[in-house]
């Protein structure tokens, strides 16, 4: 999906990524979409994402140069430093201690490449940056998981990727503005350049900077609507409103069958747009669902009028079982009512 920014914003900016898996590659792709030249470094065994989701991996690496290096080998470290010599933004996702063992601590990098900007994606901020974790554990701590249900979206990873892009842009702006900073700050704070230096054309440009993006903190930030009760189960956006819920629809291709009328409705079923439709249910058919989002009063009033219901959960539930999810989505577009078919991940991508 293209970004709503011109693809030339970062033209001339060189990005080097040492970050496999998900947050780093997403951030790198975003920067590439803005016009940056991106080189991705992979270890001898490659990126696990290439085996886990090959098509997604290819999408993430679109427009990038992928170079295989074994950073435990001196010759390959030399190649890395050649790339760093012309690099503007370095994205890492290894533990700080692992980078230090390779001679890639921020202090060493900043001394060798004063204009380099580093975005360090870590699990936890500050002194806990070396703690092990993954998206699932970060979401668990943030309270975005429901027991016995695996998340369909890696919120911490995706949030961290977007924060990494934000950090890269901020560091580049700070460097160009010549802002000062000293070194890695406590709690994963930004560290900008150490002063400005005079360029050959007489313009001043700042040195590089460092910013730590902690995925656990990203999960916490994106979990705030649930933490404050807005989207938690039973909250305003968590199922408390009949007009903002997920309802079962008729299964696609189902055979007509007898079904009771909605509570308070007529004996012949629900009338929608002048057509009376009996409830249908196919034996053995997979359940289908619609997302109904009549949050604002005018949407709710319109839906109630068109469906002939009084706004209770029971009547909405009965009404939505009279058409397939695809039919309800088309109806919603025609009638200007926010309603959408709940699609599986594969269908949604297709």
The first and second tokens of residue 31, run together, are: 């920067």
Q: In DSSP terms, which residues pair with 244 in a beta bridge?
A: 293
Q: Which of 35-39, 122-126, 247-251, 285-289 has the lowest mean pLDDT?
A: 285-289
Q: Cβ neighbours of residue 87 under 8 Å, at least 6 residues apart?
A: 14, 15, 16, 113, 116
Q: What is the mean pLDDT of the chain?
A: 85
**What mean pLDDT do residues 139-146 have?**
92
**What mean pLDDT do residues 331-335 have?**
97
CB 125 within 8 Å of CB 163: no
- Asked if pLDDT for residue 349 goes beyond 90, the answer is no
Tell me the DSSP string of 138-158: HHHHHT--BTTB--SS-HHHH
**Backbone phi, psi, residue 206, to 5°:** -75, 170
User: What is the residue whose two structure tokens read 């949407």?
Assistant: 299
Categorize the per-residue pLDDT at 3 as very low, low, confident or very high, splitting at 50, 70 and 90.
low
pLDDT of amino acid 254: 54
pLDDT of amino acid 193: 39
Instruction: Give residue-wise pLDDT tens across range 53-105.
Output: 999 999 999 999 999 999 999 999 999 999 999 999 999 999 999 999 999 99
Bridge-based pairing of strands 196-198 and 117-122 is: unpaired
User: Can you list the domains of the chain with their CATH numbers?
Assistant: 14-227 (3.40.50.10540), 241-349 (3.30.1540)
Of residues 270 and 150, more confidence is placed in 150
Instruction: Give residue-wise pLDDT tens across range 106-140.
Output: 999 999 999 999 999 999 999 999 999 999 999 99
- Write down how long the chain is: 350
Instruction: Give residue-wise pLDDT tens across range 154-192.
Output: 999 999 999 999 999 999 999 988 754 444 443 344 544
Instruction: Give residue-wise pLDDT tens across range 209-264.
Output: 999 999 999 999 999 999 999 999 999 999 999 999 999 999 987 534 334 434 33
Q: Would you tell me how many other CB atoms lie within 10 Å of the CB of residue 150?
A: 7
User: How many Å apart are CA 276 and CA 285, to the nearest integer?
Assistant: 23
- Asked if pLDDT for residue 268 goes beyond 50, the answer is no
């Amino acid at each position: 999906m293209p970004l709503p920014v011109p693809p030339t914003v970062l033209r001339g900016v060189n990005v080097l990524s040492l970050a496999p898996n998900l947050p780093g590659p997403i951030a790198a792709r975003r920067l590439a979409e803005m016009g940056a030249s991106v080189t991705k470094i992979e270890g001898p065994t490659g990126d696990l994402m290439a085996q886990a989701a090959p098509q997604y991996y290819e999408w993430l690496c679109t427009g990038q140069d992928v170079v295989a290096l074994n950073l435990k080998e001196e010759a390959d470290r030399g190649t890395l430093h050649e790339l760093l010599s012309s690099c503007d933004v370095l994205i890492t996702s290894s533990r700080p201690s692992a980078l230090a063992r390779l001679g890639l601590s921020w202090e060493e990098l900043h001394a060798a490449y004063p204009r380099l900007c580093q975005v360090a994606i870590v699990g936890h901020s500050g002194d806990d940056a070396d703690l092990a974790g993954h998206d699932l554990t970060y979401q668990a701590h943030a309270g975005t998981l429901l027991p016995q249900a695996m998340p369909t979206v890696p919120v911490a990873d995706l949030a961290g990727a977007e924060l990494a892009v934000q950090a890269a842009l901020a560091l580049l702006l700070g460097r160009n503005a010549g802002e000062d900073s000293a070194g890695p700050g406590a709690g994963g704070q930004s560290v900008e350049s150490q002063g400005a230096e005079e360029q050959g054309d007489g313009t001043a440009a700042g040195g590089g900077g460092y910013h730590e993006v902690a995925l656990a903190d990203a999960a916490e930030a994106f979990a705030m609507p649930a933490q404050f009760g807005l989207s938690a189960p039973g909250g305003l956006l968590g199922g408390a409103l009949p007009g903002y819920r997920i309802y079962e629809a008729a299964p696609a291709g189902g055979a007509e069958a007898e079904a009771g009328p909605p509570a308070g409705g007529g004996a012949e079923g629900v009338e929608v747009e002048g057509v009376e439709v009996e409830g249908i249910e196919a034996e053995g058919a997979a359940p289908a669902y619609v997302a109904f989002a009549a949050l604002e009063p005018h949407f709710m009033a319109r839906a109630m009028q068109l469906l002939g219901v009084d706004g209770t959960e029971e009547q909405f539930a009965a009404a939505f079982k009279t058409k397939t999810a695809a039919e309800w989505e088309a109806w919603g577009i025609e009638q200007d009512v926010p309603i959408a078919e709940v699609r599986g991940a594969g269908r949604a991508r297709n």
